[in-house]
Amino acid sequence: MGVQYKTFHTSFQSNNGFAGNLFTIQAKTDMVVERFDLNVGSTDKGIHVLIYTKFGDYGRVDADPGRYWTEICNTDVDGQGESKPTQVPFEAVKSVAIKANERQSFYITFTANYMKYTTGAVDPNYLSNEDVSLAASAGTQYPFQGYFPDRIWNGNVVYRLNDLDSADVQGRETEVKSVSGSEQVYAEEGNSYAYGAVSTRQPQA
Q: Are the C-beta atoms of 159 and 150 separated by less than 8 Å?
A: no
**What pLDDT score was predicted for residue 163?**
86
Distance CA 38, CA 40 (A): 6
**What pLDDT score was predicted for residue 61?**
60
Distance CA 25, CA 135 (A): 5
Amino acid at site 33 = V
For the chain, the domains span 6-172
Distance CA 27, CA 133 (A): 7
SS3 91: helix
Could you report the per-residue pLDDT of 118-140, keeping only the tens digit for each?
A: 999 999 888 999 999 999 999 99
Mean pLDDT computed over 141-163 = 93
180 to each of 184, 187, 196, how far by Cα in Å? Answer: 12, 21, 8
Peptide bond into 89 cis (omega under 30): no
**What pLDDT score was predicted for residue 67?**
76
Write down the pTM of the prediction. Answer: 0.83
**What pLDDT score was predicted for residue 99?**
96
Mean pLDDT computed over 93-105 = 97
Mean pLDDT computed over 100-120 = 97
**What pLDDT score was predicted for residue 124?**
86
Could you report the per-residue pLDDT of 26-81, keeping only the tens digit for each?
A: 999 999 999 999 999 999 999 999 999 999 999 866 556 777 899 999 999 999 99
Confidence of residue 145 (pLDDT cuts 50, 70, 90): confident
- pLDDT, averaged across the chain: 84
Q: Domain 6-172: which topology?
A: Jelly Rolls (2.60.120)
Amino acid at site 116 = K
Could you report the per-residue pLDDT of 167-205, keeping only the tens digit for each?
A: 999 876 433 332 233 333 334 444 433 322 222 223 222
